[in-house]
Every structure is written in C-alpha cells, then in structure tokens.
Amino acid sequence: MNLKRFGAPAVIAMTAALALSSCAANEGGSTAPDASVSTLSGNLVGAGASSQDSAQQAWIAGFQTANPDVTIDYDPSGSGAGRDTFLEGASDFAGSDRAFKAEEVAAGGFKKCAADSSIVELPLYISPIAVIFNLDGIDSLDLEPAAIAGIFAGTITKWNDPAIAATNPDVTLPDLAITAVHRSDKSGTTGNFTDYLAAAAPDVWTSGAVEEWPLQGGEAAQGTSGVVDAVTNGTGTVGYADASRAGDLGTVSVKVGDAFVPYSPEAASAVVDASPFEEGRADGDLAIALDRNADDTNVYPIVLVSYLIGCQQYEDPANVEIVKSYFSYIASAEGQDVAAENAGSAPISDSLREKIQTAIDSIQ
C-alpha cells in the first residue's frame, strides 16, 4: 500500500530528474573542427531592435561556432528598450532602428563606456521594406509615392481608383475595397515607412515620420508576422513588411525618378551609399541621413537601416576583444551574406564596409 502510494511520485520524480539532467545534444563539448582554436572567451549581452533578431541569431550562431567559449545573447526587446538598456549599462551593445540623436550622444552617461568615451554606431543591417498586397492573380503593381500614401492615409479606398489604374494600364484591377494593414505596435519599420511617405509624398501624407501609426483608420496587426498573416488571410489587403517576408504575396514597385523600381537587395543598399552621413558626429559614429528622394533609378528608397551601437572605449577592457571581433565578423562579407540568407537583409557595399571597419578598429 505504502509502496504503491509513493511509487508513482517517485517514478515521476526520477523521470523529471532524468529529463532535467540531460544535456541538449547540440550543446557542450566544445570540439572545434580545426586546430586554429580561438582564444576568445566570455559573455556578451546585446539588446535592441527586433528587426535585427533573425540576423543576430545567424551572426551569433556563426560567431559562436568559430569561438566555442564565447556566449552571446541578443534580446530583441525593441529599439527604445535596447538604447535604454545600453545607456543604463545593462548590455554591452545595442541594436537600434535609429541612431542616438546628436544631443543624446552629447549628454553621454553610457554606463558601460569609459568616462568621456563617445560611442560607435554602425549601419550594419539594411533591410528593404516591401509594400505587399493580396489580390487574386496580380503579382506586381507600379505605384507613385502619392498613391501609396493615399492608400495608407485612407483617401484611396478602392483598388480600381484612378490613381492606381493610371500607373497600371496593363492590369485589370478589381472593384474591391482596400484594407490597408499597418503595425499596431510601435516599430522602426513604421518609422522608416512613414519617413519615406513624408519625404516622397508630403502633400498626401501629413502625419510626418512616426514610429507609432498616427491614424485611426485601417487595419492594425501586431509585428511583422501579424501584418503578413493579416495580408495573407484577408482579401484586398495591403501592408508593409520586411521584404524577406513577402513570400508569395504581390509587391509594389515604387516610382523613383521616372522609373518604377521593384525591391531588391542591391537597390536597397544603394540608397545607403547614395545618402550622406549625418554631420557633427564623432569619427566612429556613422549615423546616416537617408535620402528618400534620390532620383537615381538604381535605388529602392523604402529601407530600414538598423545600427549596432557600442562604446568607443569600454570601461571594462575584458569585453573589448570580443566586441571588436564580433562586430568585425558582422561587417565581413561572410557575416553580411549569412544575414542575407537567414534574414533577407541587403549586404552592405564594400565602400561602406571600409568605413565601418575603421570605426570598429578604433574601439578600445
């Protein structure tokens, strides 16, 4: 009786103990494939933009494989939270969809950095934002910036509106209501998209560049996945999302200069090269002032540029080597390709890589 009464819990406890003590098959046993074992060891914590997350996971995997004694954690808590955590010294580096503003940098107080060190801000993750839609049998539409702005501002409500038909003479547009899907959470994607609308169609889009959707109309969805799901499952829907997630949905070619440019990684990184760095910044601070109105027809202007942010001079020298080699890995052609493959980002150009590498070398 007693045995029976306590038998079952004992079995459960043993099973639980077994499950808990077992090790993950893909962990432990730091068996480096070749003799050139890296001597780096330690932990690095980063936090910030969720847009970078899949790229960060790919970079972390690549870097940890090459340096088995290093553990890097990236917490995609959001750009604002990432900047705050970095400011408070709770993380070693930050990922952010916007650079620190000049006055924020001037105010200083970065707790991980040495007393009067400035920071390095590296535009290492460039992601094209696609305008995606779900219409039966239509894969691509050519749209003027004003038409895109009109759709998302709610002034264009039908797919066969003249503003859409004018630029798409070869497409039979249905007489269907437009459901414009936007992000319900605050996001850098929204910030960059509205920044584009405000720059390219200032007459139609009057709400400026904001990270939180400013209008009450339209349909709201959480996160990139939410927008993609809503557009995919709805009818007559249109939304904006990371180009890598466009999948089978139709995408919009955007009017630049006098041609319509579909999104492509090359065109997206071209806009970064065509834009100047912000003035009045320290040497390692590569904040970019994106030029959304460039009329070079090789340029796809709706991109999100996400930064990696670290200290110019760390207070604790222990992590400097890891930060430098991690950032260098990300900036390398290999790192950028890994991100392109896993996250659909646009690899940075060689000229930008040179400038970034100089900045990384200045970290101490």
Partner 1 sequence: MTTTLTPPELRPAASPIANSLTAGKLPQGAPWMMLGASLLVAAGVFGVVAAGNGSEFNWVGTLVVGAILYIVAIWLFSRIVEGSRRATDRFVTALVTGAFVLAMIPLVSLAITVVTFGLARFDAEFFTSSMRNVTGEGGGALHAIVGTLLMTGTAALISIPIGLMTSIYLVEYGRGRLAQGITFLVDVMTGIPSIVAGLFAYALFAIFWGPGTRTGIAGAVALTVLMIPVVVRSSEEMLKLVPNELREAAYALGVPKWLTIVKVVLPTAIAGITTGIMLAIARVIGETAPLLIAAGFTQSMNYNLFEGRMSSLPVFVYTQYANQGNPPEAYLDRAWAAALTLILIVMALNLIARLVARFFAPKLGR
Partner 2 sequence: MTTATAQITAKQRPGDRVFSGSAVFAGSMILVTLAAVAGFLLIQSLPALVASNEDASILDSNFWAYVGPLVFGTVWAALLALVMALPISIGIALFISHYAPRRLASVLGYIVDLLAAVPSVVFGLWGIGVLAPAIQPLYSWLVDNMGWFPLFAGPVSGTGRTILTAAVVLAVMVLPIITAICREVFLQTPVLHEEAALALGATRWEMIRIAVLPFGRPGIISASVLGLGRALGETMAVAMVLSATGAVTFQLLTSVNPSTIAANIALSFPEAYGINVNVLIATGLILFVVTFAVNALARWIVSRRKEFSGAN
Min. distance of Cβ 222 from partner 1 in angstroms? 8
For residue 237, the partner it binds in partner 2, partner 1, none, with Cβ less than 5 to 8 A by kind, is partner 2
Q: Determine, following the binding rule CB under 8 A, whether residue 23 of this chain makes contact with partner 1.
A: yes
CA angle, 250 as apex, 298 and 257 as ends, to 5°? 25
Q: By three-state DSSP, how is residue 32 classified?
A: coil
Question: Which of 203, 302, 198, 290 has its CA nearest to residue 256?
Answer: 302
CA 159 to chain centre: 30
Q: Residue 5 interacts with partner 1 (CB under 8 A)?
A: yes
Query: Which of partner 2, partner 1, none binds 8 (CB below 5-8 Å, type-dependent)?
Result: partner 1
- What character string, x for contact with partner 1 (CB under 8 A) and - otherwise, covers 51-80? --xx--xx-xx--xx-----x-x-xx----
Nearer to partner 2, 54 or 187 (CB): 187
Alpha carbons 83 and 103: distance in angstroms, whole number: 14
Q: How far is the CB of 354 from partner 2 (least distance, A)?
A: 33
Residue closer to partner 1, measured from CB, 54 or 275: 54
Number of amino acids touching partner 1 (CB under 8 A): 43
- The option from partner 1, partner 2, none interacting with 181 (CB < 5 to 8 A, set by class) reads partner 2
Nearer Cβ to partner 1, position 61 or 259?
61
Give whichever of 27 and 258 is closer to partner 1, judged by the CB atom: 27
3-state secondary structure 293-347: CCCCCCCCCCEEEEEEEEECCECCHHHHHHHHHHHHHHHCHHHHHHHHHHHCCEC
The reply on whether position 19 binds partner 1 by CB under 8 A is: yes
5 token code pair: 């009464």
Would you tell me which residues interact with partner 2 (CB under 8 A)?
50, 77-81, 83-84, 177, 179, 181, 184-187, 211-213, 215-222, 226, 229-230, 233-237
Q: According to CB under 8 A, which one of 266, 341, 354, 361 is a site residue for partner 1?
A: 341
Contact 304, 290 (CB under 8 A): no
The Cα 304–Cα 97 span in angstroms is 7
Contact 76, 53 (CB under 8 A): yes
Minimum distance from residue 309 beta carbon to partner 2 (Å)? 15
Among 17-25, 158-166, 282-290, 306-314, the segment contacting partner 1 (CB under 8 A): 17-25
Residue 99's region, left for phi above 0, alpha for psi from -120 to 50, else beta, is beta
Residue (3 or 279) nearer to partner 1, CB: 3
Instruction: By CB under 8 A, tell whether 206 contacts partner 1.
Output: no
- Report what 35 binds from partner 1, partner 2, none; CB cut-off 5-8 Å by kind: none
Residues in CB range of 331: below 8 A, 6 or more apart: 122, 124, 348, 353, 356, 357, 360
Tokens 């050139």 -> residue: 36
CA pair distance 359, 363, nearest whole angstrom:
7
Q: Closest CB to partner 2 among 219 and 278?
A: 219
Q: What is the rounded distance in angstroms from the CA atom of residue 147 to the CA atom of residue 149?
A: 5
CB of 4 to partner 1, least distance (A): 9
Find which of partner 2, partner 1, none residue 217 binds, CB within 5 to 8 Å per kind: partner 2
Sequence-distant (6+) residues with CB within 8 A of 355 are: 286
- 74 φ, ψ (degrees, to nearest 5): -120, 125
Question: Nearest-CA neighbor of 86 among 123, 42, 49?
Answer: 49
CB of 73 to partner 2, least distance (A): 17
Nearer to partner 2, 40 or 220 (CB): 220
Residues that bind partner 1 (CB under 8 A): 5, 8, 12, 16, 19-20, 22-27, 45, 47, 50, 53-54, 57-58, 60-61, 64-65, 71, 73, 75-76, 85, 88, 90-91, 222-225, 244-245, 247, 338, 341-344
